[in-house]
A and B are shown apart, each in its own frame.
Chain A
Amino acid sequence: MNVTDPHRFIASLSRDRVTLDLNTVDLCFLAGLYLRADKAGLASFDEELLVDMFEQVCDVVEPSAENPRLRATKAIQRLRNQRMLARVDGAQLMRAGEYALTRLAASVVEFYIADDALTRESLTLLTATLRVQFAETLALAKKAETEDDWRAVTGPLRVTVADLVSGIERRQRGLDTQQEEIQAEIARLLSTDWFHAVERCQTLLDTTTSTLRELNEVLLRDTLHFVALLQEIQTLAGDDTDAEATVQRVIEHVDRIAAWGSARLHAWSDYYQYVHRYLRDVVRLDPDRALSQRLRDQLVAWAGRPFYAAVADEPSIVLLRPVEARIERPAVARRRVEREVAPEWVEPVDLQTDLEALVDEALERGATTLAEATAYVLARVPEQARYKSAGRVAELVADRSILACEHERPWRDVIDRLEVEDWQLDSEPS
């Protein structure tokens, strides 16, 4: 399968809500079916065989489980829902079904069964086959002229070569798992046997190291040769973009295989050195494993009688600044300002009294309307107080005069954008 867009692929998995939920019984059931098919050469299983196999598995895994036939029915349905089992007869309700393990189920079981780890023998065999395959493909490429000829070149590259390279990668993953197991085994051996496990640990370390070194040598030598052959095919492909892209993919695959070898050897080398030192400096010097216990006691008692390790602590060398003439810099200070302002003499302001006097003065001068009186007064009042004073003036005028009020009082301009509704004043004071 060639997934061109990983995002779309992941989105489709999410959209379909793909899940895998297998318990131990399910896995054992699948493994039982796989092995049975392998042994008896079965292509499919009838329902009775499935139920029979499930009961056998149940006897081993969960001997106390009740009603195994019902559980078998549910397990079969569960595995069908998860596309582990497929019905292959198409008879629907007509008769009991025939079932087969899907590729997914077979892969899951093979993962647990397969102990295919990369060995010098398997790698040499695989690389030799690959070399032959590449040589044949190169010969075909040299003769290829038409599109069909190139299809004959890329076909084996896509299928046969890809399978062989994937085979190496699968065994590489197997070896990775083996290494992890060896690391866990070394830790377990030392935990249980301590000093007595040193020799066995050393043997495990040395064996894995020599295996990895040999594999890396083979991979380095052969992958260089493969890449050279593939590059030659790529050059011959010229304008055939499809063939060129196919070869490029195989080159990348081969590069990945080579990178695996050196990366694992490097990582293992670090691990080897660390364990080797541990065996020499810790285990061999403390055969009774007393140090851990004594250190544990020291740590627990430390708070009661603390002590502190000493270390050198020399500060960095002080670099003196170059000598320069001393400059008197004025102190930074705020500018002096006289903030206390001396009081000024100002004329008292009593607008109310002033207005009364001015209104009296206006009436004495013969103002006959409110507009005339207001205009006289406001002309003598500061501009900002005129609007407020207009009402006062009207009040004072009303107090001091008899008003002849018309029903519809006219609006008259007084001063600068100010109008009043006018009153006619009688001459007789009130």
Chain B
Amino acid sequence: MRESTFRDLEAVVTHEHFAEVDLMLRRGRHIGRDDGIVYDYLTEALPFLEPFYQAFRCELVHRTDGYFYLLPMGDGLGRRLLSAGEMLVGQTLALLYLDPATLQHGGVIPRESLLQRLSGFFGAETLIRILNPQKRKFDERVAAEEVRQQVQKALRRLADLGFIELLDQRKRSDDRLRLRSALMRFADPVRGLTDASAALERLVQRGEVALAAQSAEPPAVDPDGEEAS
């Protein structure tokens, strides 16, 4: 392991990048190699910042995929669970991240490909029901517009959290996204060779994810359109 350039914690917290990085981490931002200098700072400061954040009952996680994030383990710092829309969009983007076809454009995809994938996996109606679980009757055109809005909202939140980068935000019709390595968090339950359910249980115990019953989410709907208990 490379030796840190910092001598002690004081040098770390008085560094010009500390305040910025600390705020980013506390707001749930995933800091990856694409973030450049702040990522380098975190890499250097990791041996000192890990125990620092443990005092707040948080874990500063460093993944080999090349990103950092802060995981609250208790009630020291606030935490939230991603919404159903964010989870669906995040998993689909992770799948696109793994797709070699995405490589051709350096990890940049048009928003339309995401919508096509989502619609291909779930079908328009199931997608509408998952993203708008309160609505039992819907007009197809209005519901489709709502789905697009929900997806756009999820994309903005995922961009705030550092999972993706939104390009061309001014040109609404032609939004492009740059996929970042932090998307691999959505693949965590299936990354190991063990059973996915067991892996999910471990992630739940670690506080990385929560199951539906533990979340404050509205009840999700299964692909057949019936509410899950």
Q: Given that A298-B190, A306-B212 are known contacts, is A292 also in contact with B99, CB under 8 Å in the complex?
A: yes
Q: Chain A residues near B220 (CB, 8 Å)? A: 303, 306
Q: Is the CB of B104 within 8 A of A309?
A: no
Mark contacts of B141-165 with chain A using CB atoms, 8 A cut-off: 1 yes-contact digit, 0 otherwise. 0000000000000000000010000
Residues of chain B within 8 A (CB-CB) of A309 are: 81-82, 87, 90, 185-186, 208-209
* With A281-B64, A299-B121: A310-B98 Cβ-Cβ less than 8 Å: no
Q: Which A residues are in CB contact (< 8 Å) with B210?
A: 307-308, 310
Quick check: is A183 within 8 A (CB to CB) of the other chain?
A: yes
- Assembled-state Cα–Cα distance A184/B104 (Å): 5
CA distance A299 to B183 in the complex (A): 14
Question: Chain B 70-108 against A: per-residue CB contact (8 Å), 1 yes, 0 no?
Answer: 111000011111111001101110110111111111110
Q: How many residues of B contact A (CB 8 A)?
A: 69
The answer to the question of A13 belonging to the interface, with a C-beta cut-off of 8 Å to chain B, is no
Nearest residue in B to A184 (C-beta to C-beta)? B104
Q: In whole angstroms, what is the CA distance A164 to B80 when docked?
A: 62
Return chain B residues, CB-CB under 8 Å to A281.
64-66, 181, 184
B205 to chain A, nearest CB (A): 12
**A308 lies within 8 A of B28 (CB):** no
Chain B contacts for A291, CB-based, 8 A = 98, 187, 190-191
Please, which residues of chain B bring their CB within 8 A of the CB of A294? Answer: 187, 190, 196
**In the complex, chain B residues whose CB is within 8 Å of the CB of A306:** 84, 87, 211-212, 217, 220, 228
Smallest CB separation, B61 vs chain A (Å): 10
Residues of A within 8 Å of B42, CB to CB, are none
In the complex the two chains form, is A307's CB within 8 Å of B185's CB?
no
Q: Is A271 part of the contact surface with B, judged by Cβ < 8 Å?
A: yes
CA distance A263 to B181 in the complex (A): 25
Instruction: Give A175-215 interface residues, CB cut-off 8 Å to B.
Output: 183-184, 186-188, 190-191, 194
Chain A positions 246 through 287: 1 when the CB is less than 8 Å from some CB of chain B, otherwise 0: 000000000000000000000000110011011001100000
Interface residue from B83, B186, B209 paired with A310 (Cβ < 8 Å): B209
Q: Which residue of B lies closest to A197 (CB)?
A: B100
Shortest C-beta distance, B194 to chain A (Å), equals: 11
Q: Does the CB pair A314–B211 fall under 8 Å?
A: no
**CB-nearest residue of chain A relative to B130?**
A303
A315 in contact (CB, < 8 A): yes
Q: List 10 extra interface pairs beyond A310-B210, A312-B78, CB under 8 A.
A: A184-B104, A281-B64, A291-B191, A294-B190, A298-B196, A299-B95, A308-B82, A312-B58, A312-B72, A315-B78
A-B contact pairs, 5 of them (CB 8 A): A295-B94, A299-B121, A305-B228, A307-B211, A311-B80
Residues of B within 8 A of A (CB): 25-28, 33, 58, 64-66, 69-72, 77-84, 87-88, 90-92, 94-95, 97-107, 121-122, 126, 130, 161, 181, 184-187, 189-191, 196, 200, 203-204, 207-212, 215, 217, 220-223, 228
Q: Rank and list the top 8 A-B pairs by shortest CB-CB distance, nearest first.
A: A311-B28, A190-B100, A294-B190, A314-B26, A308-B81, A313-B80, A187-B104, A306-B220
